[in-house]
Structure 1
């Protein structure tokens, strides 16, 4: 293990060799906006060839893209100097409010302490029966030979499972249905809002109207859920052990009860993170398995031996080793949170380059996790690279699909548990085949999503247990 002093020495020794550059091809007014629109992921993936810290321009705005794992780690671990903000989180905060994912450093510690009990190991174990139930409800409807819209099916699955675990009371069922209905419109719209110049947000375009209507409905539904919970608590005095109950009992940094608006901000943030991250990860995992038949067969051997033909449960997770490696490798190739932004809170420097207070930094797990010097054959889907006996071992500091440091995603274990249960259950019961030889395109929106991904289902019989 590398000690903190050793890491500092490595950073100091490398600081003399850092390269800081400006991305080529910027236009006088638009900057790199045209390149971003033509091929966003390809543009980012090509930046490490120019330097370890690369400046880009979007219109009049400038940002520095962090292209080296050591620099990325420095930024993510120092959340006081490199605070949440920038064109991604600034717009998210305007829309979602001051929830845990978007709040600045000054509010993060008390919010993290407040929410942590809802994601403890004991709570997570308690959530899994509802997850298993929702996985069975969806997959029991599938039929042999059916072609499914994979992203839509995974969104339905993770929406229902997340809502049934984080908002468990029956009184919120109507509000939960509205949340599921409005989330896709909201998420598609918020990405457009992130990249759109601020002065265009108020224009009455059809896209802006759809987004604003979805945003209003989403907040209204969650507000209805909060009021319903309060009424149940006032009448009966007992509450289920879920996210909303934790928030209703919580206190802010001044030891005051949370307002309904504060609770709504947290609930919406957690639902979006839980639903979209798991849905994106599962959709990509199924696509990768369908296009790598030998790995799909190995997974079937594992899940059939562990599960037979029943759904996966909490107690099965330790024996689903390949399942976990497949999801880990999927998140390396297609991290749901593929882009993060930070803003310097004070004058500082990075890679030996001075940065004034207010400078924007762009961090992309997608970019870092596809570096050939960190992951040999980086474009190859290889779950075995995560085996304990694999050499060389993947560098953990270059694998950051959930971020790192104090602001690492609070729901990382929630996502991995839900995705593991779903992937194992699906694999034990179904073989998935592509319906076309055409490559699946990756859509870089609020999360990385596969476009037009349809797979054909073939029902399996469990392998005999030796």
Structure 2
């Protein structure tokens, strides 16, 4: 067993970049449907089939659009690296934009560069350090409320923890009784977006109001009302805003190179996007992590030993993050097996190339963290939960670019550091206090906007050395 206190391994050697030779994938139905129904029925199985039966570059059709699916990490990273020069982001529909507005996540060109320069400082490592104590406090409060033998819904509890973390770091408070209601609104919004991404809703015009779209508008209105109230509260007390250190205050105080602030609408879009990304993504990652640990007693025992050794009964701090090597490897392996964001699209511009081959303008180029992370070429025994594959002295190091749960290139998720620190510190805090025992059965993922468990995960709480923690 290797030591959890080793130095960070050097970056692995990149894989050689093969030439791109696209092959034609499954024929599907006549246009405009193409492979839409096969993809919508089971996206993960469909994309895995493209990889296994057809190869690293496969042409297919999603509705009326020509698509190209990539499986080789070098082609994927080449595409992600070009997402401001030779590839555009894909407009993934009306529902998604109801949540994000025109935030940095979907902006383009000069507008994207301006917004990124204003938003990025709010989630830099120095700011993440300042928020670490909040992450531990929220996790500790949740665990302290659980009782021996109690049965809890893991996803619901993880969502409450991350919701409180993001609301306290974003808005400076947890909004009290509103927290749970706003969490449900955010969950409903995410499920609606995921449903549209998988089906014909992706191609429906904005004026069509299906029942799910009407529910989405109600959920977004609830979120917008609270964000608008908080923004107006800060704007009416600018001196107080300058003294605050939450993300909303920093967004309101940010100025671009010409001294221009974000407008209230732009602040709303960035705040809600940070809220959605910071809440749902991390709670999903933690849910899968706890599911995997419950089925891997040796890995969980090694985690508990590391926490006892490094923390000696005190709560974790951000300074412990680098020392908790096994904890970080567990999170990394869980993100490999169940990446919350499981699909990335981009649209080829005129002159786009991949692997030295031209990609016709307008082609939707897709890659999937799910299929890359479970490719046996890069990950031996890919379906197994093996955190030791991330050891510095592992016999087969993971190739560069074969793991990308937060994307890559210039549009890498701005909150990647925040999410990884939060997941590790919350996991450490919960594991200090208790074990969450879940049924041993494997759980299938549901492909919405994020990769969620298909069924509720109900755990039995087993307290663990509570006297040593306090």
- Report the TM-score when normalising by structure 1: 0.90
Which piece of structure 1 moves more, 237-246 or 209-218? 237-246
Residues 232, 360 of structure 1: alpha-carbon distance in 2 compared, 3 angstrom cutoff: same
The match for 1:343 is: 347
Residues 237, 460 of structure 1: alpha-carbon distance in 2 compared, 3 angstrom cutoff: closer
CA distance in 2, matches of 1:176, 1:44: 37
The match for 1:259 is: 263
The match for 2:324 is: 320
8 Å Cα contact 1:304/1:462 also seen in 2: no
Secondary structure in 2 aligned to 1:398?
coil
The match for 2:7 is: none
* Residue 177 of structure 1, CA deviation: 6.1
Task: Report runs of 4+ in structure 1 exceeding 6 Å deviation.
Answer: 462-465
8 Å Cα contact 2:59/2:67 also seen in 1: yes
- Count of residues in Structure 1 that have an aligned counterpart in Structure 2: 455
Structure 2 residue runs without a partner (length 5+) = 1-9
Select which of 233, 236, 240 maps to 1:231.
236
Secondary structure in 1 aligned to 2:375?
coil
Residues 1:34 and 2:37 aligned together: yes
* Residue 428 of structure 1, CA deviation: 1.7
The match for 2:377 is: 373
8 Å Cα contact 1:96/1:268 also seen in 2: yes
Cα deviation, 1:344-379, whole Å, max 9, x if unaligned, reads 232322245432333211121111111111111111
1:180-199 correspondence runs (5 A): 180-195=183-198, 196-199=201-204
Residues 1:404 and 2:408 aligned together: yes
Query: Once superposed, what is the RMSD of the aligned Cα atoms?
Result: 2.6
CA distance in 2, matches of 1:168, 1:291: 37
The match for 1:208 is: 213
The match for 1:447 is: 450
Secondary structure in 2 aligned to 1:305?
helix
* Residue 80 of structure 1, CA deviation: 2.2
The match for 2:182 is: 179
CA distance in 2, matches of 1:403, 1:241: 28
8 Å Cα contact 1:302/1:322 also seen in 2: yes
Secondary structure in 1 aligned to 2:401?
helix
Cα deviation, 1:130-170, whole Å, max 9, x if unaligned, reads 11111111111111111211111111110101111122158
CA distance in 1, matches of 2:315, 2:430: 8
* Residue 237 of structure 1, CA deviation: 6.0
Select which of 9, 22, 25 maps to 1:23.
25
1:277-288 correspondence runs (5 A): 277-288=281-292
* Residue 322 of structure 1, CA deviation: 0.6
8 Å Cα contact 1:308/1:463 also seen in 2: no
CA distance in 2, matches of 1:254, 1:370: 46
Residues 1:98 and 2:119 aligned together: no
CA distance in 1, matches of 2:468, 2:272: 45
Residues 1:426 and 2:430 aligned together: yes
Which piece of structure 1 moves more, 414-423 or 53-62? 53-62
CA distance in 2, matches of 1:406, 1:204: 35
Select which of 146, 155, 160 maps to 2:159.
155
Which piece of structure 1 moves more, 207-216 or 176-185? 176-185
Secondary structure in 2 aligned to 1:394?
coil
8 Å Cα contact 1:128/1:418 also seen in 2: yes
Residues 243, 74 of structure 1: alpha-carbon distance in 2 compared, 3 angstrom cutoff: same
The match for 2:112 is: 108
8 Å Cα contact 1:44/1:367 also seen in 2: yes
Select which of 301, 305, 308 maps to 1:301.
305
Which piece of structure 1 moves more, 447-456 or 21-30? 21-30
Cα deviation, 1:411-462, whole Å, max 9, x if unaligned, reads 1110111111111111122122223x54211011111111221121111127
Structure 1 residue runs without a partner (length 5+) = none
8 Å Cα contact 2:254/2:261 also seen in 1: yes
- Report the TM-score when normalising by structure 2: 0.90
Secondary structure in 2 aligned to 1:140?
helix
Which piece of structure 1 moves more, 456-465 or 258-267? 456-465
CA distance in 2, matches of 1:184, 1:365: 22
CA distance in 1, matches of 2:77, 2:460: 41
Residues 1:393 and 2:402 aligned together: no
Between 1 and 2, higher relative CO (CA 8 Å, sep ≥ 6) is seen in 2
Secondary structure in 2 aligned to 1:397?
coil
Which piece of structure 1 moves more, 135-144 or 37-46? 37-46
